[in-house]
Structure 1
Amino acid sequence: MANKLKITLVKSTIGSIPKHRKTVEALGLKRPNKTVEMPDNVAIRGMVDQVRHLVKVEEI
């Protein structure tokens, strides 16, 4: 596995269920096309998997 994940919000959270909105916010994403680098661990992968329809993930 890679050391870090590059996570980009590609779709707005408008219309999403509140749990998904909070997950996206916890990842540090506030608006579409915003990108963050997070450590590659089980917790982050679980959060990304929950909102996989809203984000794009790259291993770096």
Structure 2
Amino acid sequence: MSNSKIKIKQIASPIGRQSDQKKTLIGLNLNKIDRTSILEDTPSVRGMVNKVKHLVSIIKVAD
């Protein structure tokens, strides 16, 4: 069974955002604009991405 992955890219600054959104970005291994992170496509990661969807873009990575 192969787990799919997603590539998450930060496209906006967390300056002036709520602290929980900043912590969510750190949890996704993002802390500066144009940084990317490749993570497993799990419900917990999807929930974190949904919380900061206005700050990131998502790309599905082919296996």
Moved over 3 A (4+): none
Q: Superposed, which structure 2 residues align to 1:1-60 within 5 Å?
A: 3-60=4-61
Where does structure 1 lack aligned partners over 5 or more consecutive residues? none
Give the percent of matched residue pairs that are identical in Structure 1 and Structure 2.
34
Cα distance in 1 for partners of 2:31, 2:21 equals 12
Cα distance in 1 for partners of 2:43, 2:50 equals 10
Shift in Å, 1:30? 1.2
Q: TM-score, normalised by structure 2?
A: 0.91
Where does structure 2 lack aligned partners over 5 or more consecutive residues? none
Root mean square deviation, CA, Å: 0.9
Counterpart residue type for residue 45 of structure 1: R
Counterpart residue type for residue 33 of structure 1: D
